[in-house]
Chain A
Amino acid sequence: MNLKIFRGFAVAAVVSVGAAGSAAAAECIAPANPGGGWDFTCRTIGKIMHDIGVVDQPIQVTNMAGGGGGLAFSHVVTKRDDDPELIVAASSATATRLAQNAYGGLTADQVRFLGAIGVDPGVIAVAADSPHMSLNDLLDAVVADPASVTFAGGSAVGGFDHLKVLMALNRAGLTDIRTVKYIGVDGGADAITQTIGGHTQAMTGDISEVVGFLKAGEIRVLAVFADERVPGFEDIPTAREQGIDVVAGNWRGLYVPKGISDEDYMKWSNALQAVADSDAWAEAMAARGLAPFNKVGDDFQNYVNAVVAEIEQMSREIGVIQ
Chain B
Amino acid sequence: MAILIPLAFSFGLDATQALVLMTSVYYGAMYGGRISSILLNIPGDEPALMTTLDGYPMAKQGRAADALVLSGVASFVGALLATIGLMLMAPILAKVAYLFGPPEYFALYLLAFCTLGGVSAKNQAKAAIASMIGLGIAMIGLDNQTGMPRLTFGDLHLMDGIDFLVAIVGLFAVTEIFVFIESHGKESAIGVKLGKIKVPFKDIAHSFFAMLRSTVIGFVAGVLPGAGASLGSFLAYMSEKSIARDKDTFGTGNPRGVAAPEAGNNAAAGGALVPMLTLGVPGSGTTAVLLALLLTLNITPGPLLFDERPEVVWGLIAALLIANFVLLIMNVPLVRLFVKILSVPAWLLLPGITMISFAGIYSLSGSSFDLLLMTAFGLLGYFMRKLDVPTVPIILGILLGKNMEDSLRRAMVISDGDWTYLFSSGISIGLWIAAVAGFIAPMFLRNLLRKPTRPQS
Contact = CB atoms under 8 A, between A and B. Distances in A.
Nearest to B352: A5
B32 A2 contact: yes
Nearest to A315: B147
B456 interface: no
Interface stretch (B56-64, B67-75, B180-188, B275-283): B275-283
B365 A186 contact: no
Contacts of A212: 280, 300-305
Interface string A191-211: 011101111100000000101
A196 B304 contact: no
24 contacts: A4-B356, A4-B360, A7-B363, A11-B363, A14-B8, A34-B292, A36-B292, A66-B156, A102-B142, A104-B154, A156-B143, A156-B144, A183-B102, A185-B410, A186-B225, A190-B226, A193-B281, A194-B101, A197-B100, A198-B98, A211-B300, A211-B302, A212-B303, A215-B304
A231 interface: no
A14 B142 CA distance: 32
A150 B301 CA distance: 25
Contact of A8 (B154, B289, B356, B413): B356
Contacts of B44: 1-4
Nearest to B173: A1
A282 interface: no
Interface stretch (B34-42, B78-86, B252-260): B34-42
A68 interface: yes
Interface in B220-250: 225-226
B280 A181 contact: no
Contacts of A183: 102, 145, 410, 413-414
Interface residues of B, number: 74
Contact of A190 (B45, B149, B225, B300): B225
A148 to B, nearest CB: 10
Contacts of B360: 1, 4-5, 7-8
A221 interface: no
Contacts of B2: 3-4, 6-7
Nearest to A65: B365
B414 A189 contact: no
B416 A199 contact: no
B157 interface: yes
Interface string A1-22: 1111111111110100000000
B292 A35 contact: yes
Contact of B142 (A5, A34, A39, A156): A156
Interface centre among B98, B143, B291, B416 (most CB of A within 10 A): B98
A274 interface: no
A182 interface: yes
Interface string A135-172: 00000000000010010000011110000000000000
Interface of B: 1-2, 4-5, 7-8, 29, 32-33, 35-36, 40, 42-45, 97-102, 142-149, 154-157, 159-160, 165, 169, 173, 225-226, 275, 279-282, 288-289, 291-293, 295-296, 298, 300-305, 308, 353, 356, 359-360, 362-363, 365-367, 410, 413-414, 416
Contacts of A65: 160, 365
A5 B298 CA distance: 32
A292 interface: no
A189 B144 contact: no
Contact of B145 (A3, A157, A199, A216): A157
B102 A216 contact: no
A41 B117 CA distance: 47
A287 B297 CA distance: 8
Interface in A50-94: 63-68, 70-71, 74
A193 B366 CA distance: 34
Contacts of A5: 356, 359-360
B95 to A, nearest CB: 9
Given A8-B356, A157-B147, A70 B303 contact: no
Interface size class of A (residues with CB under 8 A): 35 or more
A265 interface: no
Given A156-B146, A184-B145, A194-B102, 16 more contacts: A1-B173, A2-B36, A4-B165, A7-B363, A8-B356, A34-B4, A34-B7, A34-B292, A64-B366, A65-B365, A66-B157, A66-B160, A68-B159, A157-B147, A158-B147, A186-B226
Interface of A: 1-12, 14, 34-36, 39-40, 63-68, 70-71, 74, 100, 102-105, 147, 150, 156-159, 181-187, 189-190, 192-194, 196-200, 209, 211-213, 215-216, 218, 287-288, 320
A68 B226 CA distance: 20
Given A4-B1, A36-B292, A193 B98 contact: yes
B323 to A, nearest CB: 15
Contacts of A190: 225-226, 281
Contacts of B157: 66-67, 71
Contacts of A186: 225-226, 281
A71 B367 CA distance: 10
B279 to A, nearest CB: 6
A184 B143 CA distance: 10
A157 B143 CA distance: 8
Nearest to B94: A193
B410 A189 contact: no
B98 A196 contact: yes
B218 to A, nearest CB: 20
A185 to B, nearest CB: 7
Contacts of B303: 212-213, 216, 218
B367 A68 contact: no
A68 B160 contact: yes
A195 B61 CA distance: 52
B293 A35 contact: yes
Contacts of A3: 1-2, 29, 32-33, 44-45
Contact of A182 (B100, B148, B302, B413): B413
A227 B455 CA distance: 76
Contacts of A194: 101-102
Interface centre among A2, A11, A74, A196 (most CB of B within 10 A): A2
A102 to B, nearest CB: 8
Contacts of B145: 156-157, 183-184
